[in-house]
Amino acid sequence: MKEANHEEIKTAVLSYIQNLFEEMEKEIAMSHQEKYALLEDAFENAVEPSELKIAFERWYADHADDVNFEQEVDEMWEQAIGKVEE
């Protein structure tokens, strides 16, 4: 390859990788939206706070590996309901 093509090649490769990452981010975002919708659906059937927690625990168990949460289910639950108590 000629030296004159250096910038064109660099730009083409960087552009390709940037587009690839953007597509991957879109897929991840869609996956997260789907998982969020599943949690909303699970909560629709709960009528008491204890049932909400059970639904959340089941949802977490089904999706934690896919999402790679950094927190355990109880820690997430406590942080979430802590917002209610503030």
Dihedral angle over CA of 25, 28, 29, 30, nearest 10 = 120
Helix (H) or strand (E) holding 41: helix 6-44
Model confidence at 1: pLDDT above 70? no
Q: How confident is the model at residue 14 (pLDDT cuts 50, 70, 90)?
A: very high
Q: Which two tokens stand for residue 79?
A: 């942080």
Q: How many domains does the chain have?
A: 1
Q: How confident is the model at residue 51 (pLDDT cuts 50, 70, 90)?
A: very high
Dihedral angle over CA of 80, 78, 46, 37, nearest 10 = 40
The mean pLDDT of the chain is 91
Of 43, 47, 45, give the one whose Cα is nearest residue 80.
43
Residue-range definition of the domain harbouring residue 9: 3-85
What is the model's pLDDT at position 37?
Answer: 96
